[in-house]
Structure 1
Amino acid sequence: MTNTLYIRWSFFIVGLILLALGIAMTIRGELLGIGPWDVLHVGLFINFGLSIGIWSITTGLLIVLSTSLYFKRWPPIGTWLNMVLIGVFIDMFLWVLPIVANPIAEIALFILGVAVMGFGVGMYIASNIGAGPRDSLMLILIEKTGWTVKRVRTLIEIVVAVLGWLLGGPVGVGTVIIALTLGYIVHFTLPLSQKWIVQLTSK
């Protein structure tokens, strides 16, 4: 039991770190645009200040409160930790990662960032410690509609990107790439991570 819990928490924390790193990488590779949720966070930053990480936490809190009121139950501790840690890690990585001036390097950083994000999401959801606010919303919609992960996530990403664009957030071809591909990546990394956890806990 202790070993199983340790492995699950390890997947959870590493997944959050990878997700935040991937987000920061795509923001630094902004030549192609940024992810839908980050378009929203940047739009809020442009209009109201603070930081991208703080707006990530704030929007996450609003989603948590909304879904909790609707379903009349509080999410697990992992959801709260996700909400806070992702925002903190995003700001930390944005502080650490240098601004890239080379177009080829920016494109490479963006593409790698999308892949890292996909693995991060798959890993921390597979841990079953508690999905983040946005992915809790995704899982709820999957449960209610019966749609696939990739279909629901893609729909959410598109809606959020439009809202962010209306607030002045930067939308580019990279935004579309993330909206259309991240769901597909998670569709494969989630069951893969679940398989790894089962293999590690069965030893």
Structure 2
Amino acid sequence: MPATTPVRRARLQRLGVYLAGCVVFAAGATLFIHSAYGVDPLDTLALGLLEHVPLTIGIAQALVAVVCIALWSVWNRRRPVLSPFVTFLLCGSLIDLMRLTDTSALPRPVQLAIGVLLCAYGSALIIMSGIGIRAMDLVVITMTQRWRWPFWVAKASVEAVLLAVGWVLGGPVGVGTLCFLVFVDGLIQPFMAFNRRALRLENRGLVLAGSHAAAPAPSARIRGTA
């Protein structure tokens, strides 16, 4: 039906943005891993948990996601969502495939730098698609709408807590870990702003993830993305 064409086009665009985000994030994560400068803050926490509880790193990460989803669900009075686990599995599978590639031609610092940039840009695309937003980012978006924090402040605060707890539990912290915390968390917001202005992409993640936040202003958006 002609009347549904714009709706279908919008859905296909969102799906395309989401899938592109997953591929870009997986490519960045692969380079980040190959650089061997450390793990991201979530892995620091997961590996710290493994020092005390007999779990796999995947299960430990999934438990963190469950806690984040539960917090988001209670905070927004919404039913828990499963879509973050789709992203978890999809990105994980893509990373496993991409890790088979040889990136040794690139110096390790270059791999780290490109990996950080791609992780940030891929995260921005996933959030803006409004599909399969990572569990941690659901909480971050709610923080931006409840407390009016800039996205990068909320994101960095959450991951800093994960990093601190993981380090106390015995998880590894390297140069790459700190680079991930500072640059990935700091670049997602500018990349979302770029996508809105240059590519005319709507930030659907704010509408869907935080639509039940307490009395948000009609024009409330992540600062820097308008």
Q: TM-score, normalised by structure 1?
A: 0.81
* Aligned amino acid, residue 18 of structure 2: F
**Alignment partners' CA distance in 2, 1:85 and 1:130:** 6
String of CA shifts for 1:97-118, please: whole Å, max 9, x gaps: 159897x733322221111110
String of CA shifts for 1:22-78, please: whole Å, max 9, x gaps: 234323322x222111212233345434244x4333321221122212332125xxx
Counterpart position of 1:42: 47
CA deviation after TM superposition for structure 1 residue 5, in Å: 0.7
**Alignment partners' CA distance in 1, 2:129 and 2:61:** 22
Q: How does 1:1-203 map to 2 (within 5 A)?
A: 1-30=7-36, 32-46=37-51, 47-52=53-58, 54-74=59-79, 80-90=82-92, 92-94=94-96, 96-98=98-100, 105-129=107-131, 131-195=133-197, 196-198=199-201
Helix, strand or coil at the partner of 2:155 = helix
Which stretch of the first structure deviates more once superposed, 145-154 or 21-30? 21-30
Which stretch of the first structure deviates more once superposed, 54-63 or 176-185? 54-63
Counterpart position of 2:213: none
Which contiguous aligned blocks of 4+ residues in structure 1 show a shift greater than 4 angstroms? 98-102
Which stretch of the first structure deviates more once superposed, 9-18 or 112-121? 9-18
**Alignment partners' CA distance in 1, 2:102 and 2:54:** 26
* Aligned amino acid, residue 187 of structure 1: Q
**Alignment partners' CA distance in 1, 2:30 and 2:60:** 14
Identity %: 20
Q: Is the 8 A contact 1:126 1:191 kept in 2?
A: no
Distance 1:51 1:84, change over 3 A: farther
Distance 1:43 1:98, change over 3 A: farther
String of CA shifts for 1:79-107, please: whole Å, max 9, x gaps: 622333324532552464159897x7333
Q: TM-score, normalised by structure 2?
A: 0.73
Q: Is the 8 A contact 1:28 1:99 kept in 2?
A: no
Bigger share in helix? 1
CA deviation after TM superposition for structure 1 residue 130, in Å: 5.0
The root-mean-square deviation of aligned C-alpha atoms, in Å, is 2.8
Larger radius of gyration: 2
Q: Is the 8 A contact 2:40 2:181 kept in 1?
A: yes
**Alignment partners' CA distance in 2, 1:58 and 1:24:** 23
Helix, strand or coil at the partner of 1:48 = coil
Structure 2 unaligned regions, length at least 5: 1-6, 203-226
Distance 1:185 1:89, change over 3 A: same
Helix, strand or coil at the partner of 2:61 = helix
Structure 1 unaligned regions, length at least 5: none
